Structure 1
Amino acid sequence: MFKTSLGDGAELRPLTPDLAEEFIANVDRGREFIGRHVGFADAVADLDAARRILETYAEKAAADTGRIWGVWLDDVLVGGVLFRTMDFNMETAEAGCWLEPAAVGKGLVTRAVTAIIDWAVEVRGIHRVEWRTSTRNAPSIAVAERLAMTREGVARDSYIHRGERLDMEVWAVLAPEWRAARRP
């Protein structure tokens, strides 16, 4: 996994199990905000749960089936991006993100997801990157739009969050589209 500058004092780094305390602190600072749309805000209930989630992603990284990175702003973990799934036989990946409220509006998610999509497409040979988000999550939809993804449809009642069934928009970008959009 790589680390890279996102500019303006921000850095993208691997989020590993030894960083569970930083991870839980990040989630605690934004738990309700993050949890409006992201299920793991409820799953990261304590330090042990935070460590288990990061261990799961370490196992996914070792198996080459997923990845997770943190976004640090001025050396404080403020959110992260991930490939929830990666399938190299099908050349697909599903990206996601979270961010605490104090870091919103700085372009961090768009820059971080751009970095991981660049890596997935150019280094790892991924052909299709998906982005799934609740139809109610306007900021996440805006990220998909900024990433030049195509809205492919709505998976109705496909996600249960806090006891409620939600419709999920499916967005995706294909490697040739990604490269074309990234050309100056």
Structure 2
Amino acid sequence: MFAISLGDDGAELRPLEPWQAEEFLAHMDRGREFIGEYIAFAAAAADLESARALLQSYADKQAADAGRIYGIWLDGTLVGGVLFRIFEPASGNCEAGCWLEPSAAGRGLVTRAVRVLIDWAVEQRGMHRVEWVAASANTASINVAKRLGMTREGVLRENYLYRGVRHDMEVWSVLAPEWRELRSQTGR
């Protein structure tokens, strides 16, 4: 297994695999309400069986080159993660996403982890377009897109029905040439 350092604070990005279902479930239990405020991801891992099935679905996606999932560990504890919900090498398009438990919020972990994902997608896999989709009310997620230099393309009005409420969803993206230019300007 590999681990990629996300900085001097003990944060690491690692693959998240089915054999880690117990750790993943414990993490979801710690952050279920916070994580589930805008996304159904936490509800999909309600017990050990469903947690393992969720991680297996991403293992299957990775085997098919159609998605990937990674955990963010802080001082050895799983506190969140990032993923390619959609990964389409033939078209050069993918969609990145994230989740985080409240104890890890506000540290820039997601921004740093997604930066690693985008670098890999663009430079190693030749992706042309990386999307980020978030509820308009999810300011933390919108701020990640802004910090990454993504462009807001529009709002899908009342597009996402979740917990009986229709949410507006914002679509943000960065294209490979833009990403390379941003990286050359910031040196990161």
Range of TM-score over shorter length: over 0.9
Structure 2 match to 1:71: 72
CA RMSD of aligned residues (A): 1.0
Alignment of 1:99-178 (within 5 A): 99-178=100-179
Question: What SS class does the counterpart of residue 167 from structure 1 fall into?
Answer: strand
1:4 alignment partner AA: I
Q: Which stretch shifts more, 160-169 or 92-101? A: 160-169
Q: Aligned residue pairs: how many?
A: 184
2:154 alignment partner AA: G
Inter-partner Cα distance in structure 1 for 2:62 and 2:4: 18
Question: What SS class does the counterpart of residue 136 from structure 1 fall into?
Answer: coil
TM-score w.r.t. the length of structure 1 is 0.98
Question: What SS class does the counterpart of residue 20 from structure 1 fall into?
Answer: helix
- Structure 1 gaps of 5+ residues are none
Structure 2 match to 1:15: 16
Q: How much has 1:3 moved relative to structure 2?
A: 3.3
Question: What SS class does the counterpart of residue 105 from structure 1 fall into?
Answer: coil
Sequence identity (%): 64
Q: How much has 1:36 moved relative to structure 2?
A: 0.3
1:97 alignment partner AA: C
Inter-partner Cα distance in structure 2 for 1:22 and 1:161: 26
Inter-partner Cα distance in structure 2 for 1:140 and 1:60: 24
1:169 alignment partner AA: E
Structure-2 change in CA distance of 1:181 and 1:2 (3 Å) = farther
Question: What SS class does the counterpart of residue 95 from structure 1 fall into?
Answer: strand
Inter-partner Cα distance in structure 1 for 2:85 and 2:180: 22
Inter-partner Cα distance in structure 1 for 2:141 and 2:32: 17
Question: What SS class does the counterpart of residue 46 from structure 2 fall into?
Answer: coil
Question: What SS class does the counterpart of residue 42 from structure 1 fall into?
Answer: helix
Structure 1 match to 2:5: 5
TM-score w.r.t. the length of structure 2 is 0.96
Q: How much has 1:34 moved relative to structure 2?
A: 0.5
Superposed CA offset, 1:147-171 (max 9, x none): 0000000011211111221110000
1:38 alignment partner AA: I
- Structure 2 gaps of 5+ residues are none
Structure 1 match to 2:52: 51
Inter-partner Cα distance in structure 2 for 1:131 and 1:4: 22
Superposed CA offset, 1:117-175 (max 9, x none): 10000001000000000010000000000000000000112111112211100000000
After the TM superposition, list the runs of 4 or more consecutive aligned residues in structure 1 that deviate by more than 6 angstroms: none
Q: Which stretch shifts more, 145-154 or 31-40? A: 31-40
